[in-house]
Structure 1
Amino acid sequence: MLIAGGANALIGVLKLVAGLLTGSSAMLAEAAHSVADTATEGLLLTALRRSARRPDRRHPFGYGKERFFWALIAAVSIFVSGAVFAIYEGVRTIVGGEAEQTLAWVAYAVLGVSFVLEGFSWLQAVRQVRNEAAAEETTFRAWLRGTDDPTVKTVFFEDSAALVGLVLAFGGVGLHQLTGSALWDGVASLLIGLLLSGVAYILGRTNKGLLIGRQANPRLVRAIADDLAARPEVDAVVDLLTMMLGTDSVLLCARLDFDGALGADDVERACVAIDADLRARFPDLAEIFLEPVPRTDETMRSRVLERYGRTFDS
């Protein structure tokens, strides 16, 4: 990630120089785009390091959600340092009228080099997403929608936006050169700004949901429910609550109706055994809470029906 950040910083400097030499607002917008990407890499590196800290007395559930927080800040960074400037440059160029373009070949050269470097980074991001999706036996798009790892998702969308932005900038510079009108340059800059705004919105929405407290993957929840329901000590799974504590870290609260023939000591031993078995089968479970609850409790039943639309034993 440090190498990627350094590469983005170098690309940003080249784009800035090209923008100043050519007078292209699209190139300046792309320079701002690279600044946003560089800031994002730094924030994601911070997210990885701080979220790996062990739980302590002040944070007994750990620091896993720091990854979501810093990824959210990265999304804000993309919007503030990239999208706003690009939109401003686009509007200024469109409203300001004609502007002379010089040394267009410099812009083409920088865009070409940038596309090769960003393309290599994008291919690596695609490969990582495919591997993660294959490991979870899901599709590429489904993994992106449901992943609890905002860093991988951020890198993928960031690199995808970088390639599209370069194509837009190339089009803006080329059309400006062909027509002599700076309008196309301004339109390209405006589109780059809107592109970054869209990426920032998608990433911000994802991390907002994780910070608020999103349920674990539904497939995992269903597998846990089936595992608990199959145990001889359990008559019924009354309720099952999960929340993402961090990437690959899940909090589980299970309310179970135990076999009525079990005594208090038997229930305690059953809870210990269930906890150990669940942790062995589902490594993502970081914290497990088991609560004996009768399935005939109407208040609890109504809560479950309100939340899920059905009971777990139906």
Structure 2
Amino acid sequence: MNVPVTVVVCAYTDRRWHQLGEAVRSAAAQAASMGGDVIVVIDHNDSLLSIAARDLGSLHNVRVVPNQRHRGLSGARNTAIDMASGAVIAFLDDDAIPEPGWLAALLNGFIDETVLAVGGSARPVWPAGHSRPPTLPSPSPNAWGDLDWVVGCSFTGQPTHPGPIRNVMGCNMAFRSGPLRRSNGFGEDLGRVGNLPLGCEETELCIRLTGSAGPNAIRFEPAAIVRHHVSTDRLSWRYLLSRTYSEGVSKAAISRMVGNGAALSSERSYTRRVLPRAVWRELASGRPAQASAPVIAVVTAGLGYVTTRIRQSRRP
């Protein structure tokens, strides 16, 4: 499908500079073949803004701009939405490198005019000298991991074929620009700010879009693939605890906005079906550390959710 497209890449740290450059150049090449462009939004980091404007802004179809909204990923994305010219706006993380054909596969998901958003898949790239950690068990070396959502990648239990889903994944997604703007974009009270691992702003947005357009409005296209780099700090048990607790906090915030049914529909099925199988599989294989990871994730996410809901109930 050949439609005008703008690709958005948001960045806040120079620690990912090489990955940012690779992501932007790949996205720019794919967008250029379709007459599209790329907007790089720098989130309140003047030194990174200067370097990116010099080195990436020189590409013919790339603009580098500062976040003009609240600090954080949602504000940066909304800044780009205000500026984008494409009929479709695609979003790519600054440490996610698109595979060849990524953008074309995303756009193919919009052939059905009732589709408002399309999400792709993400495969982890482990740091040099590292392999899959025990915090992220997997059925096999080449399979999606049971907890890979913790590091922003596709995970066991997600669909493996094109079709409707509840929400897209933030590192690899695209929206029709008209409905996206009419929805007021990403909630700036949600989402990651710097290293703080909150999130779910794309989940809340997709639930709002589905509510106004029907259950087939959000689509998964697994052929739209990115390679998502995983930093060393995200391999630790500390990060698993922090990320899953924050997931519970974020889901509690969404539940207050849209109700428990919509906010937790996918999570209930995932917790009942996928995680118990993972625990028993790892125990049967003699890997107690890997078996404990799903249990820890569920308990910690539940703690974040319950604690936040209690706090919410005490507010006027």
**Normalising by structure 2, what TM-score?**
0.26
Q: Which has the larger radius of gyration?
A: 1
Between structures 1 and 2, the one with greater strand share: 2
Between structures 1 and 2, the one with greater helix share: 1
